Amino acid sequence: MVYLIFNEGYAATSGDDWMRPLLCAQALRLARTILSLAGDEPEVHGLIALMELQASRFAARVDAAGRPILLAAQDRARWDAASIRRGLAALAHAEALGGADGSYALQAALAACHARAEQHDATDWARIVALYTRLASVAPSPVVELNRAVALAMRDGPQAGLDAIAPLLDEPRMAGYHLLPGVRGDLLERLGRLDEARAAFEQAAGLAGNAREREFLLERAASLRSVRG
């Protein structure tokens, strides 16, 4: 429940603002309260690590107008170094307690890969693929598989990612999940299949509940229309 609160603040599912930082701050406060009651539980440290590492990116995730900025385009100099240090320390504590394979600790380890990379191009995508493979065995879900496909695309190229998400297109639990066609659109664009990419971005926009994200996806679709024109 605490992480659900954080996620709603990190990427709001509806409304006009893509982020709601106050919700994230409240989730972190709740997690620290839980930590005071269960300090020997590795997954509590893993959860705090995950939230701290994700929260470190707040200042770089939107532009001056509140529009989303994708991870690859973020100015990492704007990431909060103190939050990263707290997150890495909490992750180390979770691992020291024997919780390296906990769901939250693995997600924190994934976030740590991004936090440790000074530039997007320096990201250790091989490690990220391996971590997602471990996460899929601990907490299997089609969303984990989608994220693993993104990492595969970064490691092995967009066609590898596209092949990995193909089985998810018929997964009933993903029918209304806008990030699936959004990821597919990105991979198709990278392959130069612009008409298909545009249609995928438009499909994603139609499923997105957040106004900012919907506008962002429609802008990506429109940019491909102008390229075709």
* 77-118 pLDDT tens trace: 999 999 999 999 999 999 999 999 999 999 999 999 999 999
If asked whether residues 99 and 164 sit together in one domain, one would say no
If asked whether residues 101 and 163 sit together in one domain, one would say no
Q: Does 136 fall in a domain?
A: no
229 pLDDT exceeds 70?
no
If asked whether residues 9 and 116 sit together in one domain, one would say yes
Structural domain range at position 178: 143-229
If asked whether residues 109 and 156 sit together in one domain, one would say no
If asked whether residues 117 and 4 sit together in one domain, one would say yes
Structural domains of the chain, count: 2
135, 107 Cβ separation under 8 angstroms: yes
If asked whether residues 6 and 115 sit together in one domain, one would say yes
Q: Does 110 fall in a domain?
A: yes
Q: Does 137 fall in a domain?
A: no
93, 109 Cβ separation under 8 angstroms: no
Percentage of residues of the chain with pLDDT beyond 90 = 92
If asked whether residues 5 and 42 sit together in one domain, one would say yes
Positive or negative, the CA dihedral 148, 123, 156, 159 is positive
If asked whether residues 25 and 118 sit together in one domain, one would say yes
Q: Does 128 fall in a domain?
A: no
Q: How far apart are CA 108 and CA 104, in angstroms?
A: 6
Which residue has 């008409």 as its token pair? 195
Kindly report the CATH number assigned to the domain that includes residue 198. Answer: 1.25.40.10
If asked whether residues 80 and 165 sit together in one domain, one would say no
If asked whether residues 29 and 115 sit together in one domain, one would say yes
14 pLDDT exceeds 90?
no
Q: Does 135 fall in a domain?
A: no
Full-model pTM: 0.93
Show which of 92, 123, 154 is a domain's final residue: 123
Q: How confident is the model at residue 226 (pLDDT cuts 50, 70, 90)?
A: low
Mean pLDDT, the chain, whole residue set: 95
Q: How far apart are CA 24 and CA 7, in angstroms?
A: 7
